[in-house]
A and B are shown apart, each in its own frame.
Chain A
Amino acid sequence: GNSVTQMEGPVTLSEEAFLTINCTYTATGYPSLFWYVQYPGEGLQLLLKATKADDKGSNKGFEATYRKETTSFHLEKGSVQVSDSAVYFCALSDQGYSTLTFGKGTMLLVSP
């Protein structure tokens, strides 16, 4: 079956530090990959996505590249802000099928 593994948190950084949150996956098919963000008390918001190998998703300074050879989709940001503090979820969806398989989430805490 499908599964997603992401690094455990919390990840604690100072403002303007570089961020990496690792995500690897197992899938039977050729999935689409996603990062979602959840701010306190809110639902999940799609942050970025990639649908095929070597695609790079990007949004709000965050980037992730679909690496089929290493089955990874690591999230990066060059300079984090306090407002980036949230829980980040890596997820996948089988091609042609809509339901999402999520990782456990990684909490990011950014201090001024």
Chain B
Amino acid sequence: NAGVMQNPRHLVRRRGQEARLRCSPMKGHSHVYWYRQLPEEGLKFMVYLQKENIIDESGMPKERFSAEFPKEGPSILRIQQVVRGDSAAYFCASSPISGEGPYNEQFFGPGTRLTVL
């Protein structure tokens, strides 16, 4: 069973361009989470999605950022008009429909490292 896949692994954009980050969850997982890791910082929660639904986007900036998880295909994190402050590592995690106890273990992908020039 392949793990969580993210692509691209590295992405370079110039200020004002758009960045699209993709995440394919583990087979059978219907929950996806996006986290951002700024330099010298821990991971910060951005958004939690299930298939075709955004469950919690409280950690996502109100402007320029959007996320989706369509019925078919990967989850997409989209950043419009990127700025230098968007440079970070973006991690996706997935979890199964149900798990033991109140917590469904999250399995992380290798991350996409975005550099904005």
Binding site for B on A (CB under 8 A): 4, 32, 36, 41-46, 49, 51, 89, 93, 95-105
Contacts and interface: CB of A to CB of B under 8 A. Distances in A.
Contacts of B85: none
Contact of A96 (B4, B31, B102, B106): B102
Interface string B92-111: 01010000011111111111
Contact of B106 (A4, A100, A101): A100
A70 B45 CA distance: 25
Contacts of B95: 98
Interface stretch (B12-20, B36-44, B66-74, B75-83): B36-44
A89 B93 CA distance: 15
B108 to A, nearest CB: 4
8 contacts: A4-B42, A43-B4, A46-B105, A96-B102, A99-B56, A100-B33, A104-B41, A105-B42
Nearest to B56: A99
A59 to B, nearest CB: 13
Given A51-B103, A96-B102, A98-B95, A43 B108 contact: yes
A100 B31 contact: no
